[in-house]
Every structure is written in structure tokens, then in C-alpha cells.
Structure 1
Amino acid sequence: MTQPLFYKDLFSGQHSYTEKELGRKGLSLAQLVAQNIPVPPFFILPPELFRSIIASVFKDTSITSLESFREHVNTLVLSKETMQQIEAEYAKLSGFGKAWVAVRSSIVAPEHPTSSFSGLLASKLNLRGTREIELAIREIFLSLFADRSYDYLKRNSISYGDVSTAIIVQKMVQAEVSGIMYTYDPITNNGKHVSIEAVFGLGDVLTEGNINPDIYTVSKTTLEIIEKKIVPQEWMKVRKMGEKDTLEHLQKITISQMWQYSQKLDDSLVRELTALADKIEQATGTPQIIEWAMERGSLYVLQAKPMELDNTAAMPKIHDAARKISSLKDIDEFSELSNTTEISFSHEAPMVDSPKMPQETLLFTGTPASSGVAYGETILLPNASSMTPEMLTSLKETTTKKHILVTDEFTSELEPLFYLAGGVITNFGGANSDVGLVTRETKIPAIVGTRIATSYLQSGALIKMDGSSGAIYRVDFLPEEFPATTEKTVTLHKKKKLKKKINTAVSPILEPPAQVPILEALAGKQTIEKTPVQKKSVHDSPIKIFLTGSTVSEAVFLPSKHAAISSNATTFMIPVSNAAVSERAFIKKVKKESTATIYLLLSDSPSLDALLSAKRTLAAHSIRRSKRVPYIVNVGSMYGLLNSKNLIDLSIDGLLFDLPKLSRVYRPGTTSIDAELWKLLRETLRSVKKQKLSYIGLSLPKEFFTLPLRKEIRELLKEGITSLVFAEPVTSATEHDMQKIEEEIMGVQLEKV
């Protein structure tokens, strides 16, 4: 066998290691050590040990089946030379005495980089002495030939000849708190935040899905804690002393009631972990899933692995970049993006008759673990202890994509069913539990950590589950099919460098040709061939104008003054407060009776947490953010104005600066708008317009609906305003008035160019 590699010796020479020599996990640990990330000491047994042992087993002619092969592996004894090498490395790791260690696999499969092998191979914690290390190595080798692993390889067309494993022996961190961090949210596709899961005690309960963790959402740039979800924890897993009958020395202990509801990490440690996660992501160049632990106030990284992002995760970035093109500068910037990426667009045929959709009643929510929406009939699975082989066989034969599995927690025996079902709901677990990893790989929705699913749902219930929001609904029937999408889809693949020019090949990603290029053509920066001159209307303006209760094409509807819905309207803006029944009904009415874009106007809450809570409430009531239903935050307080950049990090589509409200809070008791407030607005607009939001609006009192436009408004229009909103009724407004204001706005825009 090749000599074991002690972690400090990995960088003693000029040799550059690869996955074939260290395995994926071992290579990741080596990279972390190179970046001075705090990692517990370890040594690696290279994959040659596995290959040599398996080769010796295959020489036995008595082996005629996979079962007899497993029996043979289970009786393996490592050679004297191998054990001496392990003893030498274990002594270096231990120093004086015998160290407690964890023994883990490090998969080697360079021919299959997209296959995760998550949760397939065994890991053993809190072992002591070389004899226990030897037993753990045998169990890890054996787990690669278990039914679960065999099924996975067969399902993914992977040969055993393409797979091996190294072994990592790492000093055990006796964690008071441990968990998992994501540097990129796989559910919302948000790369600006770090999501941290934390539990008391050892963290393997997270991957096993035994406990619901605390969840902290933190901004990478400001280290501001945007959201905390504190979940009670009744027990934790710790080391057990004096146990000799089992390989792992572990036990569950009950947590006192005083501590069950406490926050697992204080805010300073949350920020320290976020900075650590960002450093690892910067060093590796890819989004990461990071396992961490804290012992005696010190943080350690146990492992880091790249997140599996497919094209669907990249789509929103490309699509948003395309959607926000409004000037030649933006087109140049987008062309740079296109130098290495070809973007092709396709439209599905519009439906003539949409299928009838069922009535929905919200039941409860959980933690999103895999995105997507599924309708189905529930199958309530029994506990693992009562699941017989006959029951499992029967379930394999009857489970289809029209079924949603409901279970207390994940067990390896249930995994084959996940490939057959349409969705999974569990009582316990986090986003990075085995449930989340398997369902994201099989691309079915999953909701975990509900705590009550198996008590609330019985087999045969008809439900809808939304893996993006974590909401579960009762429905009155199952639809035959989902409504066909009419949105543009994006396909990404490498191509040759594109020239920077505008042509019909890219026009589908813009607004219709008569709208977007007007500004550039008037400025003499672009020639539009064979485009007839059209009479300007509300639709042609680069700046949208909204009027309260109006029947013109852009209108603001206040909840207390719902106006008739114009059939030819292109855009509505609807203020929403707490998703009251009347508001939900009206929004659904607008969606049903028109094809207009519907801006949902959210109040700027007293805190970022409150705004996130409002977004979840809307999603739970089936009012979800989409291309047709963007979320806009109404900035009407000094808190909102001063935190505008932080609001943008909450995955919103735009900001509406409410000038009347801001004026009242900036100078209470006055009716005029202070000059300092105009200045503050200009400075804020200059900072937020760099974020390239799809919408930046200014809400004005009705007396501002005059010509010529006030000087202050003209100045703000030059700072990136895309919309003027008159939230008070302008009773004298006509199409002629709108056109005159639009013409002046065009003049301001040309001044800017």
C-alpha cells in the first residue's frame, strides 16, 4: 500500500495532489489546510488500499454472488504492514494518549464528476485505538457494496471499476454546537446570502434528518443577520464514555427545558461563520456546502464540498441580466456575458383553454429542501422499525409520480421510493439532510422539518406541496396536468465570442422592438431599419406612469378603492399589507381577467426580518414572486431609505420611494418637501441604481402632476427612476396629459444621454 499521508506532509514537496490520490473529501481538506482554514488534524489512507483489498477478494473463486462477496469483505483483516502504517500515523495524530477520531470515506470517481454519492458510504464517529479504526475501514468498504450503493450505481450507469475510496482518519471535535453552511441557496438561487444550520451536539443528526436545526440567513457583504429561525431541540448526540460493546461511542442525552428553546449560536459566532464561508467560497471559486463544529468556543471546518448547480440555477442570473437591458451600455455589458455563453430562447405554444385548477387550503409549512411543485395522493410511511421487506416491496410496486411520501424521518431503506414518487414530506431534517440531497438529485420537491406531517396527513389525502416556499395545501382534486408555461426558457452552452451588435437574434429578450430601442435611436446611437414611425402612447415611454384608480394602461389600485379592470391594461400596481382575503381575491381576479404585469407593493417593514416574514406569508397564500408578479418594496420610512441596499439583498425586484411619506417623517409638521430630503434621495438612487433593479419608482403627491415637471423630479429622473406613481387620485388625468408628461420625460432622458 502507498504510505498514508499526514495532513502536515501534504505540502512538504512540490507534488500537486488530485482526486485519484486523495478522493474528493481528502482533496477538499487539503485545499482548506492550504488556505489556513481551521481544520482538525487528519491523515489519509490512499485508495490503493481499497483497490488492493478488493482485488484480493475477487481472486477467491468461491464468490458467486454479491452477497457472498459482502460476506468475504466482512471477514477482511488488514495486513501487518498496513496496520503498522496506521499505528504510526495515529500516534502522530494523538500525541500523548489515544485520540478520539472520526473515520470517513473519500470517494474516488473522476469519470463521474456529476454523481454525488451522498450518504452512500458509512462514516464512524468517536472511535479510539487502531483496532476500532480497522473495523471502521472494513465497514466503509462494505458499505460501497450494500444494496443502496449497488442500486445507485446501477441507476446512474456506473461500473464498480470506476469507483474506489480513500479513508480519512480525523481527530474528533467534541462539538457543543455543530452544523452546515451553504454559500448559495439551492432553493432560491440566491448567492448573496449564507445560510447556516446549527444544532446542539454532534452534527451527523442533520445529514440523517433526525433533528430540525436553527437556521440563520446572513448577508455575505455586510455580515448582517437577515433572518433567524430558532427551533426547539429536545435531545442531542454526544460521546459516550466507557462503552465497549459498540464500535461508535455515542449516546443521546436530553436537553434541559431552559436550553431547548435557546439560540444555538450568538450573533458574533454567526458572523464569524459567515466570513469563514465566504473565504472558502472565494478560495475554491465555487459555491460550497460546509460542515462545521464548535468546541470550547473555537470553530472548525470538518469538510467542504461544491454544491451541485445545474443550468436551472444559473438561469435566473442570465434571464435577469437580459431583462434589465435598457441602454447601449447595458447591451455592451450583456454582450460580455454572451462571449462564452450562447443564449437561445424558445416559446411554448400559448394555451387556448387552461385546465381547471383545484381549490387550495393552506395546511401547514416546513423547511424547503428541494424546489418544485407537486400534486399527489399521500402515502403515509410506517416507522423504519416496523417496515418489513414485504411492505417495502409492495410500496415499490405501487408508488408512482402521482404519490407524495410522508414520513417521520429519512432512512436508507426508503431511498428507492424517492426515485418513484412525485414528492417527499418529513417531520424532521434540514435542507442538507439525506432527504434534501437525494430529492435535489432526483429533481422532485421536498419539504422537511414540518414536525406534524405524519400526525396531520393520512394516506389517501389529496395535497399540493411547494418545495420553494415549504407550504403544503389541501386540494379538492388532482389536476390532469400543470398549465403549460408561456415564459421564455433559456438554454446555456459554450459558444464562440459574439460581436457586440443588436439584431433580431437577441430582440426576444428585450421588450418589443418598438419600445426599447427608441431612446438609442433618438440619440443617434442605433439605426432601426424598416421600423415605421408610430404615434407615441403610454406603452412607448421608457418611464411608466401609474395613476390611482385610473382606467389608463398603468394604474395603482388601493385595497379600499378597487377600480374596474381595464381589458387592455398592460401593468397594475397593487399595494398588499398582510395578504388579507380581499387582497388575495383581488390579485387572483386581476391575474385571471388580464394578461398585465402585476407589481405587488410591499410596505417597508420595521426590520428586514419582518419584510422576509411578509414575503413568506404571501407565498404561503399562493401569491408568489414571478416574472409576471414582481415584488416591489414601498420605501416610506427613514429606516427603509437608509437600508435600501440591504432591502435589495432580500430578492426583490424593485423599490418605490414614497415621497409624501418620507417628507412627513423627515420634517414632521411641514407640508413642503425639504431640500435636504431631495439631496438624500439623489444619493440613495445613485447607490441603488448600480444594482440594476428592474424597477425604481418615485411616488408623488397629485399636485406634482403638472407641466413642466419640477426641477427636482427632472434631477431624480436622471438618477435611474423608471416609474412615476401618483398614489392619490388625479381626477383630471387624460391620455393627452399622460402623453405630454411622457414627452417631457423623453426630453429629460435625452439630456441624460
Structure 2
Amino acid sequence: MIIVPISSLKKSDILLAGGKGASLGELVQAGARVPPGYVVTSIAYKNFLEYNGIDKLVARLERRDGDPYALAARIRSAILEGEMPGDLSRELDKVSNEFMRDFLAVRSSATYEDSPEFSFAGIHETYLGVRGADVESYVRRVWASNFEDRAVAYKLDNKIPPSKVLMAVVVQRLVNPKAAGVAFTLDPRNGDRSVVVVESSWGLGESVVAGEVNPDRYVVSKITEEVLKREISNGKNTMYVLEGGKVVHKEVPPELAAASSLEDGEVVEVARQAVMLEKYFGHPVDVEWAIERDVYILQSRPETVWSRRKTSGEWHSTGDLLKDIAYNLLSFKL
């Protein structure tokens, strides 16, 4: 299993596909529409290192046999210049041919053998706008990022043996959405679990996730799927879009900045997807999504603020009887 479709994975495959790859696979199992792609597995990574004798350099790094950063530089060079095993080369060619006309995201998906849930967020590389023909080159770059100075320092500081950090790589079609954002299966302002809150802005979702814009905000009833409230922001004055394979930062014209980034039908579909994931995972979630004709789910995380608060067992009243019934049934374990 050197390269596997994302759609074949599940969260228990974390040692094979890394945290990111396994999480994407689990979203597919939940019924979400995820941008298509593959994971170059940790087995492929290990096979490549052993095939080129790079594992011996990694062992030296682990023993502190020499300057660790000089050894890391040698390892990076060996990864970028090493020979690709024939079976892996053929599988990468298949992926390249499938996505020859697409732009891709090539992302690290590292996992620590002795503690699979250990987070390496922000430590390794991600590349956006990769052409299909360049997949192999960028897979090598992601592998090599396992031995960038900051990654080596992180491992050494946390007493993590470098040989135990396995690098899978996610290769996924990059969507170019009209709008994107985050959906919460409770109201992040007050913890109301009877609604879904959808935040949206134009283009890629980075501007919303990073807090660079004041997004549109829609509140949707979980019971009736009615859009209960719309807060259309005129502060959507910047966006990120995909142009020629590059993520470009652009100013939004005033008339577009003040317009609703979603139609009601789109809002409801995003909310449905979020509720589906909440039911599947069994807890409130916040979901990164994007619309490129269809609604794509990019990531789902547990909601961690209101979900950790212990409920008092008291009846919550807003003055709206139907909403009170929905809120209390959804919020408390009776």
C-alpha cells in the first residue's frame, strides 16, 4: 500500500496515512464530499529512505553522531536527489496523469509511530498550485521537510526519535471556490445547539480562517433548515483566489464586498453537511468548507469551547417555546 485513494481511508489508518490523510478519509466515510486525491503512504516514505540508504543517515542523526543540522542537510539533499523505486515511480506517474490538467495541493501528513496523535501542525511543508506533472518533485520536497532545521529542532527538543516520524503526503485536487468559510454546529457566541452558524466570504477560505475579513454570518435552524438570520458584512474587502495555480491576494470591489457571498440554498446545504458530520462524529464540530459548484468539505474539528462546559441540567429559555425545546433536547443528555 504505497499510494492509496483518500476515499479508501479511515481515521484508524493514521500510521499509514498520517493524521491529515486519515482525517480526510474519515470525512469521506461520513458521507462528505471531499476534493479527490491520494495519499502517498508512510510505507512509500520508508521504502524510499531504505532504497537509497538514507535511513542510515537518519540513524546517525538519532544517535547525535555529528552536527545534527549538517546531517539534516545531507538527508534533505539525498531525498531530493535519490532514485525513486520503480513501483513507486509508476504509481506516482498514474497520479500525475490523472491530475494532469488540475492544480493540486501537496500536503505533509506526518505521524509519530509511538504516539500517532502527536501534532506536527505548522512544522512541515504544504505546497499549493502544483501541476500534475510535478507531483513526484513536490512529494520529495514534503519528505525533505521532515528534516528542515525547524523540524529537526522540534523533534530533538521533544525527544522524538527522527526515525519514528513517518511522512505520508496528501495529493489532492485544489478547489477554486466562489466562496468558502467555516460552519459551526452550535452558535459560537452562546452555545445554542439548535442552530448551525455559517460564516462565509468570497474566494478561498483563508481570509475567514485567519480572521482577515469580517465574514457574512448565517444562522440556520437544525430542525426546520430555515435561515433564521442573515448578517451580511460589508467588510469582505479582501480575498484569496487561485490564478494560474498560484494563490493570489486580491481586493474585493465595494459592491461585491457588500453583497451576500451565499444564496440561501447554498447556506442550507452547508448546514446540512455540518449536521451530518456532527451526527457521524457524535459531538459538535466546526467545519471548513468551500463551494465550487458543489459544497466540498475540507476539514472537520471538534468544537472545543462550549462542548467542554458542563451543562447544569436546567431548562434553557429564550422566550421562544419551539426553539427552547430544540435547544434543550440537543444540549442535554436526558
Match of 2:26 in 1: 31
DSSP-derived class of the 1:86 partner = helix
Cα 1:111–1:191 change in 2 (3 A) is farther
What runs of 5+ residues in structure 1 fail to find an aligned partner? Answer: 242-247, 325-630, 636-642, 651-687, 694-753
Q: Distance in 1 between matches of 2:219 and 2:148?
A: 37
| Residue 251 in structure 1 maps to residue 254 in structure 2 | no
| Residue 235 in structure 1 maps to residue 234 in structure 2 | no
Q: Distance in 1 between matches of 2:158 and 2:209?
A: 22
Q: Distance in 2 between matches of 1:157 and 1:229?
A: 48
Shift of 1:209: 4.7
Shift of 1:23: 2.1
Q: Distance in 1 between matches of 2:154 and 2:187?
A: 26
Cα 1:144–1:691 change in 2 (3 A) is closer
Q: Distance in 2 between matches of 1:184 and 1:66?
A: 47
Shift of 1:25: 2.4
Match of 1:278 in 2: 275
Asked whether the equivalents of residues 217 and 226 of structure 1 are also in contact (C-alpha less than 8 Å), the reply is yes
Cα 1:110–1:309 change in 2 (3 A) is farther
DSSP-derived class of the 1:216 partner = strand
Match of 2:289 in 1: 292
Match of 2:259 in 1: 262
| Residue 86 in structure 1 maps to residue 88 in structure 2 | no
Match of 2:175 in 1: 173
Given the alignment, which residue of 302, 310, 314 partners 1:316?
Answer: 310
Shift of 1:264: 1.3
Bigger relative CO (Cα 8 Å, ≥ 6 apart): 2
Cα 1:208–1:147 change in 2 (3 A) is farther
Q: Distance in 2 between matches of 1:303 and 1:198?
A: 15
1:66-465 to 2 correspondence within 5 Å? 66-75=68-77, 76-77=80-81, 79-80=83-84, 81=86, 82-91=88-97, 93-94=98-99, 97-109=100-112, 111-112=114-115, 115-131=118-134, 133-146=135-148, 149=151, 158-184=160-186, 188-231=190-233, 232-241=235-244, 249-295=246-292, 297-304=293-300, 306-307=301-302, 309=304, 313-317=307-311, 320-321=312-313
Asked whether the equivalents of residues 177 and 200 of structure 1 are also in contact (C-alpha less than 8 Å), the reply is yes
Given the alignment, which residue of 642, 646, 663 partners 2:323?
Answer: 646
Asked whether the equivalents of residues 219 and 229 of structure 2 are also in contact (C-alpha less than 8 Å), the reply is yes
Q: Distance in 2 between matches of 1:49 and 1:166?
A: 8
Cα 1:57–1:209 change in 2 (3 A) is farther
Q: Deviations over 1:428-463 (max 9, x none)?
A: xxxxxxxxxxxxxxxxxxxxxxxxxxxxxxxxxxxx
Cα 1:32–1:138 change in 2 (3 A) is same
Asked whether the equivalents of residues 57 and 69 of structure 1 are also in contact (C-alpha less than 8 Å), the reply is no
Asked whether the equivalents of residues 73 and 148 of structure 2 are also in contact (C-alpha less than 8 Å), the reply is no
Cα 1:73–1:150 change in 2 (3 A) is closer
DSSP-derived class of the 1:274 partner = helix
AA of the residue aligned to 2:250: I
AA of the residue aligned to 2:92: I
Aligned length: 320
Asked whether the equivalents of residues 22 and 44 of structure 1 are also in contact (C-alpha less than 8 Å), the reply is yes
Question: What is the TM-score of this pair, normalised by structure 1?
Answer: 0.38
Q: Distance in 1 between matches of 2:178 and 2:139?
A: 27
Q: Distance in 2 between matches of 1:24 and 1:129?
A: 24
Shift of 1:86: 0.6
Q: Deviations over 1:104-145 (max 9, x none)?
A: 2223246546544333332222211332x2343234334444
Cα 1:16–1:103 change in 2 (3 A) is closer
Match of 2:15 in 1: 20
Q: Say which is worse superposed, 37-46 or 278-287, in terms of deviation.
A: 278-287
Cα 1:123–1:691 change in 2 (3 A) is closer
Q: Distance in 2 between matches of 1:227 and 1:168?
A: 37
AA of the residue aligned to 1:177: A
DSSP-derived class of the 1:18 partner = helix
AA of the residue aligned to 1:644: L
Match of 2:5 in 1: 6
AA of the residue aligned to 1:18: D
What runs of 5+ residues in structure 2 fail to find an aligned partner? Answer: none
Q: Percent identity, aligned pairs only?
A: 24
Cα 1:188–1:160 change in 2 (3 A) is farther
Shift of 1:307: 1.7
Q: Distance in 2 between matches of 1:316 and 1:648?
A: 19
AA of the residue aligned to 1:180: V
Shift of 1:87: 1.0
Q: CA RMSD of the aligned region, Å?
A: 3.7
Q: Distance in 1 between matches of 2:12 and 2:129?
A: 28
Shift of 1:41: 1.7
Q: Distance in 1 between matches of 2:149 and 2:297?
A: 31
Match of 1:51 in 2: 46
Q: Distance in 1 between matches of 2:31 and 2:69?
A: 45
Asked whether the equivalents of residues 181 and 209 of structure 2 are also in contact (C-alpha less than 8 Å), the reply is no
Cα 1:5–1:73 change in 2 (3 A) is same
Asked whether the equivalents of residues 57 and 72 of structure 1 are also in contact (C-alpha less than 8 Å), the reply is no
More helix by share: 2
Asked whether the equivalents of residues 3 and 44 of structure 2 are also in contact (C-alpha less than 8 Å), the reply is no
AA of the residue aligned to 1:39: V
